[in-house]
Amino acid sequence: MFSTEVEQENEEHWIAVSDLMSGLMIVFLLISVMYLVIVEQKNEEIERVVVLYEDLREELYKDLYAEFEQDLPRWGAQLDEDLRLRFTNTDLLFELGESSLRNEFAAIIDDFFPRYLAILTSDQYRDEIQEVRIEGHTSSAWSQAEDSDEAYMRNMALSQARTRSALGYIIDLEAVSHEKQWLRQRLTANGLSSSQLITRGDGSEDEDRSRRVEFVVVTDAETRLSTILQEIR
């Protein structure tokens, strides 16, 4: 009699455990299904943002290239399809080791930036642009540095000072004063030292082309994609 009661209790115990496990499996299954649905929705959202970004980038590139095509050679500049406009003619930018703009570079900015800003702030683009970066780049060389670390840090300070000089000059331009609030919200100065060198075909550093100033457009799509990806994790 006692044995039968124990067996019955054990059986009821395992039935309860079995029911609990089944319930947990159903809960985990529902969670998995919900996660997959969310991921699928986010993937569709990512695809939609990417398409919009590519279309925006292509249209903006065409407008910028049409505006500056004739000027790029005499400025020693190039416009890449990633919306990066590079000024690489070191003879026009800064004196060696100095952060003040050469008169030649100031004259280029006088011509270039108001036209650049007019395109960026047109109705088609102004609300889609998150940031306009002025990036300063140097070569890896510094003649009086004791080692590569000191050269890097000295070039970092120099590149930061140069971009601040360029930013200050642009903010003071009368021709862009009507968009000063928009610029203050988006225009930034970024000194990057020798972290992004330009190399030749054989992999060696091209010191002259590495010393450059770049204007980079960052659209709102990058921020939206970053937010979506963080939500998935």
Kind plus residue range of the DSSP H or E element containing 131: strand 129-137
Give the span between the Cα atoms of 212 and 91, in whole angstroms: 10
Output the pTM of the full model: 0.75
pLDDT for residue 54: 80
pLDDT for residue 158: 96
pLDDT for residue 101: 97
pLDDT for residue 2: 46
pLDDT for residue 147: 93
Of 138, 94, 88, 84, which Cα lies nearest the Cα of 116?
Answer: 84
According to DSSP, the residues that pair with 215 across neighbouring strands are: 85, 134
166-198: b (≥16 Cβ within 10 Å) or e: bbebbeebeebeebeebbeebbebbbbbbeebb
Q: Which stretches of the chain drop beneath a pLDDT of 50?
A: 1-2, 6
Which of helix, strand or coil describes residue 49? helix
Give the span between the Cα atoms of 107 and 158, in whole angstroms: 21
Q: How far is CA 125 from the centre of its chain?
A: 17
